[in-house]
Structure 1
């Protein structure tokens, strides 16, 4: 499989601060890849470098086999950045037609309205749009040239729940057409549901990459949650063999353990009045938190995994 984007030993410094610190990253063509990381990890800097909005301090970047400054990429790459400001004096439809005029083979006007769901707002001034509607307009602008590579930096910021659901339906449809989509998001459940590959970045370095399942499989701890009519003390729960951590949420006791079979047998025979018992595996959020935790707090259960 060929790569849509390659970062080879890329550093980007702002004075003494290194936003990227020797980043090595390869993103496959024709897939959805999510860049995840805590605030300040370097995700937005990486996207800005892909778009030639910033220049690397050192290292090499290739986008669709070209240097990011190559003029041909303007016809091939669409981008939705965190901060966008539409031309408030123009109507939605006028903005979309203007952006269509920038490209050799643009999507149709009606298709852009379909993608954004802004049919009713086509004759409204952009200044009158809500924050979520402005995001949807910016997305339509990013799609105007029918790009083969789409870069989305926190794309659902400001959208309500309904708009977010519809947006991800559109992204899945685009992914089925084998477009290359790179996104950053703080909504891990969304990244989990749409991504073919996930790359976790922290302090400007790649920590792990692979499918969601491969990242979660490195987290061997499982979770037993239950209600108890006669709950034991937390200290008693913490002393049970194999229990790594105890939580209590919304009336549920949650035990973290790698030895859930033996623990289940003990719990069911402990006389605590157990109900609503469930056993679950790690989520992407569990894996993410473990990967990005400070070294002294890092769980030993998860390891870096890489899939090609």
Structure 2
């Protein structure tokens, strides 16, 4: 899949807001049939990257292209869908009216029934948009983003305000769209969401791309391991050992985060011959994300 030309590209993209460097020579490629999660703390540059690809902003340097063209043209927009964090939709229109209005802008839109099924809009078509709950409005926004059968779909914090069932439903819909060949750019603060959905992950830190690859490749950027065992050792004492990032007791279980893990495991076995049920697992995406973005936290604390 990587051998096929990408549907959208940022190449050496730079963007400043006054003295603030929002993006600094960022390279990003979005491929058909893949979800790419764009991760970063607030202010890392995620929204700016999305805006460049949507043609809402122009890069100060570098290049943004979608389907080999400049973003924002009518021909490009008809092949894209976007669900952003804010949506200015007419409160007085019914959901069905909103769907009809947006679907009319596409040559081969999805049927209303398909939109209802994918976005979970059963029973909402006759309701006024302004009378819906926040979660229901997010589902309507998702339906509007996918109703034109987009080849490229932008989802900016799509599950904010959704309950667990609605979130799982949106995940299933995204997987269906990807199976049809769409490229999806996802920004989310829910790292378990990125881990569950993404084929590729790109991590922005202070406007720079600090990691990019598969979920496994990004996890491998850190050597942190999670250790769980049943032991009589005091968590407070273990927390002082070299290499231990944190240690806490959970009932009879002792949970430890260590980097690297091997010396800590050896010391555990030496210190407690009765230790049992030892489990070691690699860092999750959340662990890797925190390690990769610590420099941003340090800069914010120093400011």
Q: Secondary structure at the match of 2:196?
A: helix
Equivalent residue pairs, number: 293
| Alpha carbons of structure 1 residues 20 and 233: separation in structure 2 relative to 1, 3 Å | closer
Unaligned runs of 5+ in 2: 299-303
| Alpha carbons of structure 1 residues 124 and 201: separation in structure 2 relative to 1, 3 Å | same
Moved more, 244-253 or 155-164: 244-253
Q: Secondary structure at the match of 2:247?
A: strand
Q: Secondary structure at the match of 2:78?
A: helix
| Alpha carbons of structure 1 residues 227 and 20: separation in structure 2 relative to 1, 3 Å | same
**Cα distance in structure 2, aligned partners of 1:193 and 1:144:** 24
User: 1:166, CA displacement in angstroms?
Assistant: 0.8
**Cα distance in structure 1, aligned partners of 2:62 and 2:198:** 27
**Cα distance in structure 1, aligned partners of 2:88 and 2:297:** 42
Instruction: Work out whether residues 8 and 23 of structure 1, in 8 Å CA contact, stay in contact via their aligned partners in 2.
Output: yes
Instruction: Work out whether residues 231 and 272 of structure 1, in 8 Å CA contact, stay in contact via their aligned partners in 2.
Output: no
* Aligned match of 2:245: 245
**Cα distance in structure 2, aligned partners of 1:296 and 1:141:** 36
Which aligned pairs between 1:137-152 and structure 2 lie closer than 5 A?
A: 137-152=140-155
User: 1:272, CA displacement in angstroms?
Assistant: 7.5
* Aligned match of 1:282: 283
User: 1:226, CA displacement in angstroms?
Assistant: 2.8
* Aligned match of 1:109: 112
Which aligned pairs between 1:1-308 and structure 2 lie closer than 5 A?
A: 1-228=4-231, 230-232=232-234, 234-235=236-237, 238-239=240-241, 243-248=243-248, 250-251=250-251, 252-260=254-262, 263-264=264-265, 266-268=267-269, 270-271=271-272, 274=275, 277-294=278-295
Instruction: Work out whether residues 236 and 248 of structure 2, in 8 Å CA contact, stay in contact via their aligned partners in 1.
Output: no
For residues 168-207 of structure 1, give each alpha carbon's deviation from its aligned partner in whole angstroms, at most 9, with x where no partner exists.
0111111111211111001111111111111111111111
Unaligned runs of 5+ in 1: 298-308
User: 1:163, CA displacement in angstroms?
Assistant: 0.5
Q: Secondary structure at the match of 1:133?
A: helix
Q: Secondary structure at the match of 2:8?
A: strand
**Cα distance in structure 2, aligned partners of 1:160 and 1:268:** 43
What's the RMSD between the two structures over aligned residues? 2.2
**Cα distance in structure 2, aligned partners of 1:255 and 1:115:** 40
Q: Secondary structure at the match of 1:238?
A: coil
Moved more, 212-221 or 100-109: 212-221
**Cα distance in structure 1, aligned partners of 2:60 and 2:267:** 58
TM-score (norm 2): 0.89
**Cα distance in structure 1, aligned partners of 2:235 and 2:53:** 53
TM-score (norm 1): 0.88
User: 1:80, CA displacement in angstroms?
Assistant: 0.4
User: 1:264, CA displacement in angstroms?
Assistant: 3.8
Q: Secondary structure at the match of 1:72?
A: helix
